[in-house]
Every structure is written in structure tokens, then in C-alpha cells.
Amino acid sequence: MPKGQCHCGAIRYEMPGEVAHHAACHCTDCRRATGAPLVSWALTSAEAIRIEGTPRVYASSEHGRRHFCGDCGTSLFYTNEVIFPGMIDVQSATLDDPGEIPIQAQIQTAERIGWMATLHELPAFERYPAP
């Protein structure tokens, strides 16, 4: 089972490698909540995931709940009992091996940062570029 954790390790989890959906979200809400230009989400059953530690929960919309580590601030999970009852969205970039679960789609591109669409065209360096 793929394993993941927050930055400080106070919250650890194990989830199935087979997920209902795995998508990279460009929405403004995800961006604001994480500080990242895009957030990848792997949707799985809330019963199938094992979570150690107790995340803090923030109501980011009427029914949306964002779960994060209260110690280090890493955002980890999203639940919404109206849109997907009994399921939990996992921020797959917090997996020990984030490439382990294949990604299927980009969503909410209507709200994507303009430069994200052409990011792959920028100069790329394996490490920090030489000064």
C-alpha cells in the first residue's frame, strides 16, 4: 500500500494504490489553501485509508473540509460529504513515492495560472542553476 505523510511526520497514512480518480487540480481554492500552483488529488474510500495522527480540519467551503497537519501545516486530505460521501481525496504529492499512482487528468483549467500551461517550455535544470 502506498504510504505518505506530512512534512514533520506527525500525520502518516497508507492508502490503496488503486484509486477512483487521480487528477491535478488548477482551481483557485486548492491554490490558496496550499500555496502551490496545482494540487494532485487521489480519491479513495474513507474506509480504505489508514491515518495515524489527527489532522486539523478547516471548512474551506459550505461542505468542503480540508485536513492538514496542525504542527507543520502540510495540507493532506479533502472531504465533502455532499459531493463524494464516504470518500476522501488525498494530496498525492505527500506520498513517499508520488509517481506510484498514475495521474489521469488535469481539472479546473479554467482557473489555471496562465504560465502553468507552458511550464514545460521553460529552461529546466536538474539542480539549482549555476549563479
Which residue among 3, 12, 16, 27 contacts Zn ion (CB under 5 A)?
27
Is residue 43 left, alpha or beta, with left meaning phi > 0 and alpha meaning psi from -120 to 50? beta
Distance set, CA 126 to CA 62, 71, 121, 123 (Å):
42, 31, 15, 10
How many chain residues touch Zn ion (CB under 5 A)? 9
Which residue among 15, 23, 24, 30 contacts Zn ion (CB under 5 A)?
30
Q: Which residues 63-122 are close enough to bind Zn ion by CB under 5 A?
A: 69, 71-72
Minimal distance in Å, beta carbon 45 to Zn ion? 20
Cα 17 to Cα 65: distance, rounded to the nearest angstrom = 23
Interface stretch with Zn ion, choices 2-10, 78-86, 87-95, 113-121 (CB under 5 A): 2-10
